[in-house]
Amino acid sequence: MNYQEFKDYIVEHVKDYLSEKYQKANVEITEIHKNNNFKLDALTIFLPEENICPNIYMNDFYEHYKAGKNIEEILEKIAELRDIHDGQEILSTDDLLNFEKIKDNIIFRVVGAKENESRLSDMPHRLENDMAIIYQIMLKKPEDGITTVQIENHVMNQWNVDEKKLYELALENTQRELPATFLHINEMIKEIMRNNFMEINLNTMSDDDDMEPFLETLFQEAMEEMPEERIPIFVLSNDIKMNGAAAFFYPDMREQIARQMNGNYFVLPSSIHEMIIVPDNGDADYQELKNIVNEINQTQVAPHEVLTGEVYSYDRESKQLMLAGEKVREAAGKSTDIKGSLHQKLKEAKEDVKKGQKNRQPKAKDGLDR
């Protein structure tokens, strides 16, 4: 089947895999505009009494189908995803327009300003160099994703508030609901490897509760045999590793990182999910770092997860974040070995992240983001 035939087949047959309550649901696929003007096809299974339902994206499912996954298995997974959202406490349209009821759920995320210029005209935002802070209502924060609704200008106007008010609320709410994580890149890689190791083995070996501590010990023993390279690269994100680049804009975060780095540092926007921090100690120059960011964007990051192609520099004395191109330094005397190690380490980290994502089944993440 080609992609259109695949979508038509899903719409026609998905009710065969759904419970009785969904037999009167309205099933359709619509095109959704996501970050960076990226378009996805979303399946919705709308019950008559619902005002909001999850978007289940077809694009990844079709890739699984082309790779050999059985169409019946895909339909079963779609039905499972829809059931996950069944009975969840989702706010009504009236609730969403009630500012007092919703204000503690307002959070922010960061996107590229240039790539989203047309979308930004319809939503409250503020610019940070070539990035833009935008606002969402967080409906649910599950362990494996986040369910949000985009705040647009007409909603803000109905609330009778301004962007400044949204920003103040979002700063407080986002750092509370999505606390920052700051890890050395080795620690991040080990964390991803551990999660994959535990998930794969617990799913295939046994449901016995005694298996988890055994597997944890086994993993830690394996990690002890790995060489501990200490290339000075750190990763800033949040506790669910989704839209974690926003953590860089938490109150006092830039100065906290400066204290950790003991001075100035570069910021590499690895994706909308994380920022990579490199000390500005003379071991890496601007152009090399910019090349790394662009290569990662082209080879390791999905198009709708790219943040920007720039590199930023934070000056601790002035407390200023600027485009590193404005602070270009001479490359003479830089260590080629360190730059090569930096490039390789970042590439390995992004490959590990991609492997971690591929090991998971598709989920209705950001399913209500619009």
Q: If we measure between CA atoms, which residue out of 105, 110, 111 comes closest to residue 248?
A: 110
What is the CB neighbour count within 10 angstroms for residue 109?
26
Residue 244: per-residue pLDDT:
94
For the chain, what's the residue count?
Answer: 370
Question: Which two tokens mark 318?
Answer: 């002035």
What is the CB neighbour count within 10 angstroms for residue 230?
8
Rg, C-alpha atoms of the chain: 22
Q: Where are the domains of the chain?
A: 3-84, 93-178, 182-358
DSSP collapsed to 3 states, 98-141: CHHHHHHHEEEEEEECCCCHHHHCCCCEEEECCEEEEEEEEEEC
| Mean pLDDT per 10-residue segment, the chain (370 residues) | 95 94 92 88 87 85 94 94 68 80 95 93 95 91 70 95 97 95 77 53 51 52 53 87 95 95 92 92 77 83 90 92 70 46 62 53 42
Residue 215: per-residue pLDDT:
46
Question: Which two tokens mark 210?
Answer: 């005694």
Residue 323: per-residue pLDDT:
87
Helix axes 185-204, 211-224, angle to 10 degrees: 140
Question: Which two tokens mark 62?
Answer: 């079709």
Query: What is d(CA 357, CA 354) in angstroms, rounded to the nearest whole number?
Result: 5
The count of C-alpha atoms lying within 13 angstroms of the C-alpha of 234, restricted to the half-sphere facing its C-beta, is 18
